[in-house]
Structure 1
Amino acid sequence: MKLKGVDSVEYKIVVIGLGSGDIDQLTMGIYRKLKQTDHLYLRTSDHPIIKELEQTENLTYTSFDHVYESYQRFEEVYDHIADTLFEQVKIVGELTYAVPGHPMVAERTVQLLLERSQKEKVNVEILGGQSFLDPLFSALKIDPIEGLTFINAMDFDAEDLSFNDHLVICQVYDQFIASEVKLALLDHLPHDYEVIVITSAGNKDEKIVSVSLHELDHDRDINNLTSVYVPPIKEKLGLYHTFASLRRIIRQLRGPEGCPWDKAQTHESLRPYLVEETYEVLEAIDEEDDHHLVEELGDVLLQVMLHSQIGEDDGYFSIDDVIRSLSEKLVRRHPHVFGDKEVQTLEDVGETWKQVKEKEPGRESDQSILQNVNAALPPMLKAADYQKQIEKQGIKLIEGDPWKKLSGLIDDYASSKDEKRLGDVLFTLIYIAKIYKHHPYLSLEKTNREFAARVHRVEKELGEHSFRDLSREQIQSLWENNQTK
């Protein structure tokens, strides 16, 4: 393969693949190229074919093995190799660069050469070589048409993997990388899940070992020709932690053979459940109980999934649209993370968020400053948000001593018994709570919990009796003796 657009360039790098390791599988053309080239560079000399040719053909070459010890990141190693090859080819005119396997399979240095070739005005020619995938499939006895994910051990995110397909993780160079792969997979698979470690697939040194996942990094024979095969999960229970599995469950619940209750729900009928589940999340947070929090967050997620499935069933939107909308918003409102904007303080972050938000469609600047306050919020939360929005405009709601203001409002309410005066008292209390960085909702909820705990203590002392079994004086005494400590 020659790069288009640079055929007239005098400099040329010929990239050849050494195959999976068996010299009998090497084509005659590549064999001749290895023997006849005047300038041979190897990404690594740790390859069975190179070792054999050193003995039989007195092969001479320059290896990049030493470069791996000079950098902490593989990407830096690959950049160094590409830089060196471009520098050398402009001195000698033409050189050969040999890599394990096929040059176009899991070879980042080759991709760098191709990406930079036009800028460097160097022709890059690919001569091929057998990929290790063919002997790998034969050794494992798998058919990739059934679904295959093929990834690099040094650059993958386990969150993106589908464990429904055959999974091959290549370039597991050593025990350290094997350990990294193990830890990533253990987040999704049981510790005793069986995986296969295969080294030197397709040649006489081929080694295939089945191990439990937690033992993946115990094999001392792991080298640069090692790959790990993870068979597809057969038990659906093993996939219950994945988003795809949850989506299938929700779809089935509302499907033709699903649950009558789930199928009957609408956006409107689910409204009270979303509010209820949200409050239960807050309760779990207050309890500092992680197990309870996991459960309650799951219940909130269920509401999101049900609303999204209803939208999909009605043909208006799906969970994909929900996720896309959220992702776009997060990226758009964080230009200091996903763009080139610079911020120094939390106040800068808030101002950036505000500026971006104001420019979004449907948020014209001539609308009310209260437009961002959700009308469906409970009154206490809505009052706190109203005060927050007003103070952003530089307006101070209470001039002077807020406690004196509150005292006057309480006197007004005591004398008038007017419900509106009670609202003024509560609104002012919310303002005072904000001054002291207290959240009125959380403060009241704490008192509610203490009150409930006091009632439970009284009930516990009653034992098999009820309040009706005691006199008013006995009940009051019991109540007073169980005050919150």
Structure 2
Amino acid sequence: MQVEKRTALNQPAITVVGLGAGDPGHLTRAGWEALRQADRLFLRTAIHPTVPYLMESGFAFATFDSLYESADSFDDLYREIARRLIEAAELGPITFAVPGHPRVGEKAVALLLDEARRRGWPVAVIPGVSFLEALYTALGFDPARGLTVLDGLDLAPEDLDRRRGTVITQVYAQRVASDVKLTLMDVYGDEHPITVIRAAGVAGEERIAEIPLYELDRLDWVDHLTSVYVPPLPAGAQPAAMSETGESGETVDRRERAGAIENPDQYALDPLVEVMGRLLAPEGCPWDREQTHQSLKPYLLEEAYEVLEAIDLDDDSKLKEELGDVLLQVVFHGLIAEGEGRFRIGEIVETITEKMIRRHPHVFADTKVANADEVLVNWEAIKAKEKGDKPAGSPSGIDRVSTAMPSLLRAEKVQKKAAQFGFDWPDEKGPLAKVREEWGELLEAAGYPGAECGLDAPLDTVLASRDASRLRDELGDLLFAVVNVSRFLRVNPEEALQRTVDKFIGRFRFVEDCCRRDGREMARCALEELDVYWEQAKQRERENGRD
């Protein structure tokens, strides 16, 4: 025990006690006596297996758990803990208890003791059994063989020594595990065996798993008591190359094979996830906390269309903003699902990453393709294999087209799906003729039989003969046929209609401006008068090359 000069009861003095690795038996006799004699006891956190034992024994204490929610970073958290403890010690002696050993991975203790000694206050540090001692026992490892201990929150490849065993601490969540994994793969490769240890030495709670490195962030049981042991590379083994050459000579990134793609410009989702996590917390935003997958559906659709608008405007600033809004919706839905215990938000990234690698064997494996058409053929074949062959009587492959799509897009998707089964026109002449046929049937349903061009039948006679249900069906048939034409002409129907709507809006605004310019009220103008302005708008577009 390291002890410095004690002072009178009302003078500043600090005692720091290690609570041990997790089991109450890890608390030393000296530590127990220091806790029992403490006038004011502070715990860094109450989330520790020894704390319930202290509560049962009648100890009164304060914790700093509330700061974990409000601090912007762990560095800020530790500085604030130290500041508050110094402030408390100015009124007299305090005792500060921390998990494990006070000198192992406890930055708040280091800051506290540095400041106390700068002020000349007496300090006592009472050791506890650290997680390292418990880990040695769990692994059957002798630290005399050489060991490096590193913080998972501040891990860099240059800190790693491939010749020695390494323990990574602070792997308290899957997002931290993902960052640790990527850093380790730079040095050891994705298949390097590691051991993940949770609650080392805690009876009934200890859990140990030996896995390949690339699976580290796929464990759903990592928490604040989790560490990772990375054994040294075997003698003579070469450092992990970040790329390898396949049988065909193609270069394959090892992290891509492991399902973790990284590049110098990659940014983690963690900041956005943390912000949304706070908004969805019990003390967060009331509106955000009321949202569900169903209630958010309109916002996701709206944000997607605003991305399309930004693309059409060729506005990088707007595109950046709108893509962020879409990303927000993805994170929002992911955290709602995670809160309901349905899946983790990290699984969204894992699933799509694995899918993209799996469906691009011409990039990540040895498959050869000649052009983009062959890529699409492979894509559909792989997708069909993933979903499995459908037995007789099961739902059709065309049922896989989502019913939630906008109607124009859904029509196009259905037609493309049918074409994959050979149910399609041989060329564009078929769908063009079909449009003419459906136009005739719509005219007939509207009460103008045989009227190819002129619609000169008496209106009262026409209205009396109409069947609303048939009109709806024939109009739907015509729209479906038009979508088929757009597909053969390689024109996106949704984009084409959007452009026409935008063109209409531009012309309409021009007509409004003309009316204001001439001192006329648009609603009181005859249609023939407004049509003159309309033609002027069209002429202006032609002159500007935008007809």
TM normalised by structure 2 equals 0.42
TM normalised by structure 1 equals 0.47
